[in-house]
A and B are shown apart, each in its own frame.
Chain A
Amino acid sequence: MPAFGSFALLVALALSAYNLLAGGVALRQLATGSRGAIAPDRLAETARRAGIASFFAVSCAAFALVWAAFTNDFRLVYILDHSNRALPWEYKFAALWSGQEGSLLLWAWLLAGYGLVLRLRHKVDVKLTAYASTILAGIQVFFLLLVNVAATPFSLVQGAVPPDGNGLNPLLQYPEMVIHPPMLYLGYVGFSVPFAFALGALMMRYPGEKWIHITRRWTMVTWLFLTVGIFLGMHWAYNVLGWGGYWGWDPVENASLMPWLTGTAFLHSVMMQEKRGMMKSWNVWLIFSTFLLSILGTLLTRSGLVSSVHAFAQSSIGTWFWVFLVIVLAVCVFTYILNRDHLKTEHKLESLVSRESSFAFNNLVLLLACFTILWGTLFPILSEFVQGNKVTVSAPFYNRVAVPVGVFLLFLTGIGPLLAWRSTSMRSVRKNFVFPSIAALVVAIAVIPLGVHPWTIFTTDHEGGFYAWVTFALAAFVLTAIFAEFFRGARVIQKHTRQSLLGSVVQLTRRNTRRYGGYIVHLGVVLIFIGFSGQAFNRSVEETMSYKQTMNIGPYQIECMDYSQDTNLNYDSTYAILNVFRDGHQVTQLDPAIRFFQASQQPSTIVANHSTLLWDLYVVYAGTDPQTGQPVIKAFLNPLVAWIWIGLLVTIFGTGVALLPNLSAALAAQRSRVPAQREPVAAGRAGD
């Protein structure tokens, strides 16, 4: 199987190289009108087929590696280092992406998969797809070179083959780790497709905005994968690492957030190009930046340039990524300089109080957030270069610098949909802003007696309380604005069709899925922000606990019932049995544990969590006190965390709605017996 895998990777490299070269030659001939021995159309077709075939070759290599994991083939260094006989089958499957070489193979495989779909759908626009396919082949060649030369997953053990492997990193032996990395990679790799289309469209001076229509769904699906990947990572960190939080501003986390921010900016600003022919250069550079940031993030975290808790991903392939990054940047700059006259804007902003203007500010803030995170991630390197010593840039820096930017973004999320394209009259501003403003004011006052005090910004070193107060008020503003949009539109439909309000909301959404799906995504984002703001009120207690001892945190009393042990082939576990009481009544039993993995000889904590909509009671078995030998239990009371995961579900639903095709106006009119021209248009007016 190792020989089969290696051979499959070589074949995939040859096919991708052919796709790149033949595709490049064919496109050059088509552009200049010259002819070679083979007609350019036929040459381009052979390149496309080679690209399709490369997917099957990479699939064979991926299959060979997974097969090796399942059959405990410890002749392979990669399997020896990342698996063992007692490892459950789902984690053996996850071994494909649990190390450097495997994750690069996964990257190449997903890229080939995206390429397969793109090449099979080439009839959407044959020439543009040929350009995109050739550019994707270029990226594919880079990753296949890596797995063939620099980080091959099929290298063999020298000397005698050990009877068992070293096992998978204990931190990765958690259900979410089976789906978190593929989701994240689907996001990273997926941005290659809109990048390839954008670069291709610029190279061929593609007329009109059709390339944006073609790539819109690609971009949204990719964005959704990246979003889900990031949140699954947060959920894993929360439930496995045992420090009571979900986001530690680690460079690897930052690396995933940066392309997400520019991708989000692109999804918004691209509407300006579609509707008004504006921001063409900006959009092209946004999608270029998104792809470049995906590569830069990978470079930062795998080259060891910056320290990270994700140390298992580091190696010496940084030089390869540097070279690739420089080549991609050079190609982007060169293509842009040659064709920038093609990207002249058709309109300019006419008013500060307009939808366009809100998009401009939204983009500015998203990019600033991205820059702040990049700045914080790179500052240790800059500091070492200038001062001669590294500094740490961790949570206190980002909480102080990035949180205000996030709150400002929430504010823009609220006001953007209330503004009309081109210009919004003051009458319209007054009409649309009055209810959201009242809601914000009411909530701002109502939360003060509940302990959310804005004056903490003046009295303590922690601004968390102040930002939570602002977030709650802004959340009320945005939620009211969103519900008002749905209500206004649904009422008009209801008036004419006599449907229920809910039925009218459904029909309204189906008539313009992109616009109302977008609002649902905004709703999800607001819920996520509400969940984040709870962090300002986290509490924790750490105590040694023996039999029948109790610990109090918030309204809960935790009583230690017992400590027990368990063992299986993979790990030994010690766990505490804790009864949780509230107002004298038992609400649940929690079993936080420590697992000691046999193969890797490493311990890992398993958190026990009692989650409600109001707060999470999060309990960690933190080991034993070195002086007394007593078990140490650490309990956290984390308010509103559940809303983060609910917000994610709403965001997924909203993106799904936005991906649906619109119910045609004619069909809607037929169904509802309403003339098409009576479709309601609320504040935003322009159907996005």
Chain B
Amino acid sequence: MSRVSRFALLPLLAVLCALTLGTADTQARFNDLGHKLMCMCGCNQILLECDHIGCPDAGREMQELRAAIGQGQSDTAIMEAFQAEYGPTVLAAPWLSRFNIVAWVVPPALLLLGLFGTFFLVRKWRLRAASMPEIPDDPASRDLRERIRRETQL
């Protein structure tokens, strides 16, 4: 194959790559968004995990999702469209808006509060604690400690 024809193939290869990437991207987006939506038949399951044989809603919702992705709509636009059509319960997790933000903020805030709280509490107690005499580390003391531990073991 001549150099010219090899160069001529390059745009074709680029288009092929773009198309393949697009396919993979479309499938990945479908999987991603399909796991962020609920099946509305009342089964209370994630759209792509609905296991109802002959489910009346899952197939239709999946078709709508594929169509929306095919039309090039953004993720946000698709989620908003589903929310407008089916109501907020179609979203598998609360959308980050208004009061729903509270759902996401409270657990990490409590974790941070708890960690800092425990840290400062231990620090405060440690500062208050009277200084303890140094425990000798000779073999006799070690044996005595071992015996006490064994005899008081629960």
Contact = CB atoms under 8 A, between A and B. Distances in A.
A372 interface: yes
Contact of B45 (A243, A274, A397, A462): A243
B1 interface: no
Interface string B24-64: 00000000100110100001111001110110000100000
Interface stretch (B7-15, B66-74, B144-152): B144-152
Interface string B102-137: 011011101100110011011101101100100000
Interface string A563-606: 00000000000000000000000000000001000000001010
A379 interface: yes
B46 A394 contact: yes
B114 A364 contact: yes
A445 interface: no
B107 A371 contact: yes
B98 interface: yes
A391 B88 contact: yes
B146 A677 contact: yes
A386 B99 contact: yes
A393 B110 contact: no
Contacts of A350: 125-126, 129, 132
Interface in B86-108: 87-95, 98-100, 103-104, 106-108
Nearest to B143: A677
Give 4 closest A-B pairs by Cβ, nearest first.
Answer: A243-B49, A397-B93, A396-B93, A348-B125
Contacts of A402: 107
Contacts of A275: 154
A687 B153 contact: yes
Contacts of B128: 348
Name B's interface SS: helix
Given A352-B123, A391-B89, A244 B32 contact: no
Q: Which of A248, A394, A594 has the most CB of B within 10 A?
A: A394
A371 B107 CA distance: 8
B88 A394 contact: no
Interface string A383-395: 1001101111111
Nearest to B104: A401
A426 to B, nearest CB: 15
23 contacts: A243-B46, A244-B49, A245-B49, A248-B49, A309-B45, A348-B129, A350-B125, A352-B126, A360-B122, A361-B118, A365-B111, A375-B107, A383-B103, A389-B87, A392-B38, A394-B46, A395-B92, A397-B94, A514-B154, A622-B51, A623-B54, A677-B150, A687-B150
B45 A396 contact: no
A603 B53 contact: yes
A387 B92 contact: no
A309 B125 contact: no
A252 B123 CA distance: 40
A679 interface: yes
A346 interface: no
A430 B51 CA distance: 52
Interface string A450-465: 0000000000011000
A401 B51 contact: no
Contacts, number: 147
Contacts of B49: 243-245, 248
Interface residues of A, number: 66
Contact of B122 (A349, A367, A375, A395): A349
B146 A309 contact: no
B88 A390 contact: yes
A242 B107 contact: no
A333 to B, nearest CB: 22
Contacts of B114: 364, 367-368
A41 interface: no
Contact of B53 (A361, A462, A622): A622
A290 interface: no
Nearest to A512: B153
Nearest to B89: A392
B43 to A, nearest CB: 6
B110 A368 contact: yes
B113 to A, nearest CB: 10
A391 B53 contact: no
A634 B121 CA distance: 54
B41 to A, nearest CB: 12
Contacts of A352: 119, 122-123, 126
Nearest to A352: B122
A687 B146 CA distance: 10
Contacts of A397: 92-94, 103-104
Contacts of A365: 111
A502 interface: no
A306 to B, nearest CB: 10
A429 B87 CA distance: 55
A25 interface: no
Contacts of B38: 392, 394
B118 A213 contact: no
Nearest to A213: B154
A351 B126 contact: yes
Contacts of A357: 118, 122
Contacts of B36: 396
A157 interface: no
A394 B93 contact: yes
B45 A372 contact: no
B101 to A, nearest CB: 11
Nearest to B125: A348
A462 B98 CA distance: 24
A681 B147 CA distance: 12
A393 B35 contact: no
A574 to B, nearest CB: 10
Nearest to B106: A375
B98 A387 contact: yes
Nearest to A632: B53
B97 to A, nearest CB: 10
Q: Which of B54, B59, B100, B154 has the most CB of A within 10 A?
A: B154
